[in-house]
Amino acid sequence: MLVAPSMLASDFSHLADELKKITDGGADFVHLDVMDGAFVPNISFGAPVIAAMRPHTALPFDVHLMIRHPKKYVADFAKAGADIVSFHVECDDDPDEVIAEILSHGVKPAMVIKPNTPAESVFPYLDKLYLVLVMTVEPGFGGQSFMHGPLLKVRQIKEKNPSVLIEVDGGINAQTVLECARVGVDVCVAGTGIFKAEDPAAVIRQLQAAGR
């Protein structure tokens, strides 16, 4: 299992130190949650903050856009250093246009579905996507409890396209990650469980070991 610590749970006053902590701890990606206060009822950080973080780690930046109109911001996040840009199938833009915009900047496209959105909603786009993020909590806030129902969608998407990576985000811990591994999840996002741990590296290793 690849592990993508979510910077939403980090100490924003020491971002460089927090990035070093997870880089030295063996993380695979850095997960960056971008919220616009409209698509979700919360605001986090934008491209300038991500650009400021970029020099402090060589890990791939996995940028999750929780915004209504992702297309017009893709260039900003690509320039800031995003390696993967994921956007919601529920957004207000045309998904094909957003994917084309992401690809035009040499970034890997990914799509996100909320817990109550059917897996079928991403099927038309799977051949163009690097990754699908299946939310196991309602997007917008960290620290929520894991929802088991969305894991059924992981199986459905994998059956449709076994080569696309499946990521899950929300309520991931030592127990829930085992359920995720059993249904074929490739990448897990974890925030509070890593950044609030006494030994973040040990937590990262434990999550990575799931499914081996």
148 in a known ligand binding site: no
169 in a known ligand binding site: yes
Task: Count Cβ atoms within 10 A of the Cβ of residue 55 and give its class: 0-12 exposed, 13-18 middle, 19 or more buried.
Answer: exposed
Nearest Cα neighbor of 189 from 22, 17, 20, 15 is 22
6 in a known ligand binding site: yes
Residue with tokens 């833009």: 93
Catalytic position from the list 11, 17, 24, 33: 33
Is residue 169 flagged as an active site residue? Answer: yes
31 in a known ligand binding site: yes
Using an 8 Å Cβ cutoff, are 105 and 81 in contact?
no
Residue 163 vs residues 27, 40, 123: alpha-carbon distances, Å: 22, 30, 13
96 in a known ligand binding site: no
176 in a known ligand binding site: no
127 in a known ligand binding site: no
Is residue 62 flagged as an active site residue? Answer: no
Catalytic position from the list 28, 62, 169, 186: 169
Residue 13 vs residues 9, 17, 21, 149: alpha-carbon distances, Å: 12, 9, 14, 36
46 in a known ligand binding site: no
Residue ranges for the known binding site for substrate are: 6, 64, 140-143, 169-171, 191-192
Q: What residues act catalytically?
A: 33, 169
